[in-house]
Amino acid sequence: MENPLDPINHPLDGLIRDHDLVRKLAAAYRGTTDKEVKKQAGKQIVQAIHNHSRAEENIFYPRVRHIDAPMVRHFEQLHLEVDDLVATLQGMALDDAHADHLLNQLIDKVLHHIAQEEKEFFPKLEQAGLDLAPLGLELAAFDANLVHLQAAQSAGLGSTLR
């Protein structure tokens, strides 16, 4: 990596790193026939997509809607479908053919969507020449809070996150 990571001044890089994690986990999921590895990768994909979607839906999309409202609306529609699949998969054991079918559906939708964000939307946002640091700060705070809540939840202290 040439530059130190600076997700506050470059929030799009932070989002792309989330996307890279999803791509990596998807490749791991599809690249193995080992049931246990598949199950772990599947769980991590669902969690990574869940967290990334929360940040985009709550912070990112509302702050950048004015750049291209129809495109952001299209993304939000896709997120609804993805959120449904994520919720279903969160309630499953991820160890049968039905879960595998749903996970593959989720991966296909999400890979297409993140490519569209990166190729069609992020360049528009960069060209708009906005100061993205406030957005970076908000995203960083949101992520930190989400991680904190999830830690509390897994320690049995939290209630629900959605």
Q: Which stretch binds Fe ion (CB under 5 A): 27-35, 36-44, 55-63, 126-134?
A: 55-63
What are the structure tokens assigned to 28, written together?
Answer: 């791991």
What is the SS3 assignment for 68?
Answer: coil
Q: Which is nearer to Fe ion, 56 or 138 (CB)?
A: 56
Instruction: Give min distance, CB of 68 to Fe ion, in A.
Output: 14
Instruction: Give min distance, CB of 52 to Fe ion, in A.
Output: 6
Tell me the C-alpha distance between 159 and 162, whole Å: 10
Q: Are 21 and 51 in contact (CB under 8 A)?
A: no
The 103-142 site mask, x for binding Fe ion (CB under 5 A), equals --------------x-------------------------
Count of residues of this chain found to bind Fe ion when the rule CB under 5 A is applied: 2
Q: Which is nearer to Fe ion, 128 or 151 (CB)?
A: 128
| 143 counts as binding Fe ion under rule CB under 5 A | no
Q: Which is nearer to Fe ion, 117 or 138 (CB)?
A: 117
Q: Position of tokens 């949101």?
A: 142
Cα–Cα nearest to 112, from 159, 65, 79, 146: 79
Tell me the C-alpha distance between 113 and 82, whole Å: 10
User: Which of 25, 41, 46, 56 touches Fe ion by CB under 5 A?
Assistant: 56
Q: What is the 3-state secondary structure (H, E, C) of 119-136?
A: HHHHHHHHHCCCCCHHHH
Which residue is closest to Fe ion by CB? 56
Q: What is the largest CA-CA distance in the chain?
A: 48
Q: Which is nearer to Fe ion, 49 or 89 (CB)?
A: 49
Binding residues for Fe ion (CB under 5 A): 56, 117
